[in-house]
Amino acid sequence: MSDHIEFGKNGEELAQAFLRNLGYDILELNWKFGKNEIDIIAAKDDLIVIVEVKTRKSNFFGEPEVSVTKSKQRILVRAANAFLRKNKISLETRFDVISIILTPHNHQIKHIEDAFYPIL
């Protein structure tokens, strides 16, 4: 596995542990819809949470969450709709971003709830 893929997987594992510690139930990891993927699908308090995880080695070029563009948001909304339909889930859905700065000796996690809203 390439270094950048391994680095991203490490960030996703940190995000999963972070969410579990907050009481979220992890329903799916790396759920695929065609070529699109949702990093984490979680549930908490009758709410489905779609989580995009962005991991970087530093914030020199900006915070990781800025890379969740409008295009990426549309992809996540489309994939989330497919997940909800496939599993016959009609709960309220929220879109979060977990932004991680991961260095060899430390990490910082920022959980952005309601990071964006689906465009109707």
DSSP state string for 12-70:
HHHHHHHHHHTTPEEEEEEEEETTEEEEEEEE-SSEEEEEEEEEES-STT--GGGG--H
Any idea of the CA torsion for 11, 109, 117, 7, to the nearest 10 degrees?
Answer: -20
* Whether pTM exceeds 0.85: yes
Residue 46, domain extent: 3-116
Q: What pLDDT, on the 0 to 100 scale, is given for residue 120?
A: 57
pLDDT tens column, 70-116 = 999 999 999 999 999 999 999 999 999 999 998 888 889 999 999 99
Report residue 2's pLDDT band, with 50, 70 and 90 as the boundaries.
low
Cα Rg for the chain, rounded, in angstroms? 14
The DSSP bridge partners found for residue 33 are 36
Q: What pLDDT, on the 0 to 100 scale, is given for residue 90?
A: 94
* CB neighbour list of residue 74: distance below 8 Å, 6 or more residues apart: 119
CATH, residue 41 = 3.40.1350.10
Q: What pLDDT, on the 0 to 100 scale, is given for residue 107?
A: 86
- The rounded mean pLDDT for the chain is 91
Nearest-CA neighbor of 96 among 58, 45, 41? 41
pLDDT tens column, 9-64 = 888 999 999 999 999 999 999 999 999 999 999 999 999 999 999 988 877 677 88
CA atoms within 13 A on the CB side of 115: 26
Q: How many domains does the chain have?
A: 1
Tokens linked to 119: 């465009």
Q: What pLDDT, on the 0 to 100 scale, is given for residue 6?
A: 73
